Structure 1
Amino acid sequence: MIFLVNDTAATPEAGGVYSILEDFYNEVINNDSKNKWFFLLSGKYFRETDNVKIIVREDLKKSKLKRFIFECFSGKKFINNLNPDVFISLQNISTIGIKAKKKIVYLHQPIPFQKLVKFKFYKKEERNLSFHQQLVGSVIKYSLSKEKPFVIVQTQWMKKAVLSQVKLPKEKIYVAHPKVEIIERTKKSLNNRSFFYPASSYIYKNHRIIFEAANLLEREGINDFKIYLTLQKGQLPLRNNNIFYIGHLNRTEVFKYYEESILLFPSYIESFGLPLIEAALKGDIILTSKTEFSRELLNHYKNAYYFDYKNAGQLASLMKKVINGEIKADGSRLQVNENGESLLSSIKNLL
């Protein structure tokens, strides 16, 4: 069989989007030497093998308009000339007019499907999010309704959201939590005065509530705690003596912080919420926003504590209880059988 993977939007600077592509490429390289694979990308980011070839369309990286035209109009001719049996999009959109027998879209962009917030284009800090929510979101929904591919989503809440906003039979939507690999280390004593939040600086990651909670604790005379954020100092216009910007961390460093700190996770928009699963697999205490995705992912996990994502007082109260030893980890971990499956496994299950 001939598989074609379309992901011209992913570049090494794109963070999690590129990680999805890289992980999937490695899965294919390590597990499939029989089928022929084409990866349609914006750069030659990976090596080729006898059965895995990289097709570069660097022009699609330079312009969102060119990528839109490719996905909606010109791309079908380019892709159909390669005669794929299975077409796979890792960039949320189902390219219009593809003739492959099987079409699969990996849908991991939650912003157009969530209803909590409508981002404003006239606000500079929200402009890019508004663009993805309104314009890109409309293209995604139109392409899925028209092409009716199989759609892989990461959570049940995403499935419900897609069904309510896209004309797609429910049997076409496949729910699969990503498989999360954990790094085992020698367990160190948990510091109940150390908190950790690994996240980018997007507004919906909700860093502001952490600063508000820290200020509330300080007003109560509670100062002997530290909060670590995986951001550079200039990325947020917020300061607090107990909050430290530590920059980007590799996975080994992230797991070190999981083992020594309490996870804070105030984000209110996520397709999945990877840190929640990573920390739960390690048995950590987790203080997280009360959302559909957090409730779903941590449904069977006993060390999770929830707060309203708009209420800094609730978060401060939970942090105070952790600091005072009123909240302690009970030693249980999220079970491995709740740890999902790889993307390649999901695709094989659909086929």
Structure 2
Amino acid sequence: MRIVVNDVAATPDAGGVYSILTDLYNQVKKKDHENEWIFILSGNYFPDTQNIKIVTRPDLKKNKFKKLYFELFNGHKYINDFRPDVYISLQNIATLKVNAKKQVVYLHQPVPFQEEKHFSFWKKEERKLAFYQYIVGFIIKKSISKVKPVTIVQTKWMKRAVLKNTKLPIHCIIVNHPFVNKSDSKLYRNQNYNFFYPASGYLYKNQKLIEQATEILNKKGIKKFKINLTLKNNKENKGENFNYLGHIPREKVLKMYENNVLLFPSYIESFGLPLVEAALKADIILAADTEFAREILNQYQNVYFYKYTDAKKLADLMEKVIKKKIVSNGVPLSDNNNGMQILDSVNEAIDDR
């Protein structure tokens, strides 16, 4: 069987999106030696193997409108030349007119499906997100409604949102939390009062709330703590409490949980990978009170919630961590609540629907 995977959106600096692609490639390389796999990517990020071939289309990554045109109008010609038995899109959109016995979409773009925030084209800082919410969102919903692919979502809230916003039948939706690989390093140690937030600079990642909470703590004379962010330093990023790491490899991210409390003020996520990564380390988690965070961490004890607009509550929780009034009980998230490997999700989609 020939399986074609389209994920030109994923690049090594793309965070969770690239992690999904990497996990699928590695699992196929390790476990599937029978089927033929073709990955259409924006760069040659992985080596070919006996049954895996990497095909690059960097032009589709450079121009978002060309990419959308590819999905809706001319991409099927390129994809059909590979004669796929199964076509898998890891980038949310069901490519139209693909001649495959089965089409699968891995849907992990939450912006068009959430109702927390309506982004504006008139505000410069929201323009890109408005494009995803309204333009890309319209295309995602229409393409899924038309093609009716087997659609894999990461959470129950996304399933409810997809059913509400598309014509996809309920039997075409698979809910599988992604499996998070645990590192061999140690659990959180309750040894210091530094904080860590691995996230991009998108507006909904809500770093502004951390800045506001830090100001509150500083005014109370609480200044001896560090907040490590995976952002590049720039003129807008100020404050002695902040340490800007830039993009760091996933191995280092996992290592950071050993000595840093996770801050997670993001209010829009399909899943929220750092929440599980930190929970598997028995880390203290200070998370915005959202539907996805409650769902993911419903069996975890070392999490403390606050409204994503409430800087004072976040500051109070951070102060309690700094003063050791909040400590981890050392019990990590159970493997039973971890999730499913993406290859297993894909195989379920191919075999059962």
Q: CA separation of 1:23/1:219 partners in 2, compared to 1, >3 Å: closer, same or farther? A: same
Q: Could you tell me whether the CA contact under 8 Å between 2:188 and 2:330 is conserved in 1?
A: no
Matched with 2:231 is: 231
Q: TM-score, normalised by structure 1?
A: 0.94
**In the alignment, what sits opposite 2:29?**
29
- Structure 1 residue 29: deviation in Å? 1.6
Q: How many residues align?
A: 350
Alignment gaps of 5+ in structure 2: none
Q: Residues 219, 148 of structure 1: CA spacing in aligned structure 2 closer, same or farther, 3 A cutoff?
A: same
Aligned residue number for residue 82 of structure 2? 82
Q: Please state whether the residue corresponding to 2:133 is helix, strand or coil.
A: helix
Following TM superposition, by how much is the alpha carbon of 1:274 offset from its aligned partner in structure 2, in angstroms?
Answer: 0.9
Residue type at the aligned position of 2:28: V
Map of 1:99-248 to 2, 5 A cutoff? 99-186=99-186, 189-234=189-234, 237-248=236-247
Q: Higher RCO, 1 or 2 (CA under 8 Å, sep at least 6)?
A: 2
Deviation of 1:82 after TM superposition, in Å, equals 2.7
Q: Match of 1:92?
A: 92
Q: Distance in 1 between matches of 2:50 and 2:192?
A: 52
Change in Cα spacing, 1:242 to 1:169, as seen in structure 2 (3 Å) is: same
Stretch deviating more after TM superposition (286-295 or 244-253): 244-253
**In 2: Cα distance, 1:274 partner to 1:174 partner:** 18
Report what 2:299 is aligned to: 300
In 2, Cα distance between the equivalents of 1:324 and 1:46?
A: 46
Letter of the structure 2 residue corresponding to residue 332 of structure 1: V
Match of 1:249 in 2: 248
SS across alignment from 1:340: coil
- Match of 1:54, SS state, is strand
Question: Which moves more between the two structures, 74-83 or 115-124?
Answer: 74-83
- Residue 263 of structure 1 aligns with which residue? 262
C-alpha displacement of 1:188: 6.9
Is this contact kept in 1: 2:187–2:330, CA < 8 A?
no
> 1:211·1:239 contact (CA, 8 Å) conserved in 2?
no
Q: Distance in 2 between matches of 1:149 and 1:135?
A: 20
- Does the CA-based 8 Å contact 2:187-2:283 persist in structure 1? no
CA distance in 2, matches of 1:188, 1:297: 19
1:6 Cα offset (Å): 1.4
The one-character-per-residue Cα deviations of 1:238-270 (angstroms, maximum 9, x if unpaired) are 422222223222233223321112111101111
Q: Tell me: CA distance 1:175–1:222, structure 2 relative to 1, closer, same or farther (3 Å).
A: same
Contact 1:215 / 1:240 at 8 angstroms: preserved in 2?
A: no
Report the equivalent of 2:283: 284
The CA distance in 2 between the partners of 1:189 and 1:339, in whole Å, is 21
The letter of the residue matching 1:2 is: R
1:129 maps to a residue whose letter is L
Contact 2:186 2:281 in 1 (8 A): no
AA partner of residue 239 (structure 2): N
C-alpha separation in 2, matches of 1:211 and 1:336: 34
CA distance in 2, matches of 1:188, 1:57: 41
Identity across matched positions, percent: 53
CA distance in 2, matches of 1:13, 1:193: 28
Structure 1 moving runs of 4+ over 4 Å: none
User: Secondary structure of 1:45's partner?
Assistant: coil
1:123–1:279 distance in 2 versus 1, CA, 3 Å: same
The answer on whether the counterparts of 1:5 and 1:88 sit within 8 Å (CA) in structure 2 is yes
More displaced 10-residue stretch of structure 1: 148-157 or 76-85 = 76-85
Alignment partners' CA distance in 2, 1:254 and 1:189: 16
Per-residue CA distance 1:140-163 (angstroms, 9 max, x = gap): 000000000000011111111111
Partner residue, 2:71: 71
In structure 2, the partner of 1:317 is 316
- The separation in 1 between residues aligned to 2:316 and 2:223, in whole angstroms, is 14
Q: CA deviation at 1:126?
A: 1.4
Q: Distance in 1 between matches of 2:214 and 2:177?
A: 33
Q: Contact 1:211/1:238 (CA < 8 Å) preserved in 2?
A: no
**Alignment correspondent of 1:341:** 340
Q: C-alpha distance in 2, partners of 1:332/1:188? A: 10
What RMSD over aligned residues (CA atoms) do the two structures have, in Å? 1.7
CA contact (8 A) 2:216 2:312 kept: yes
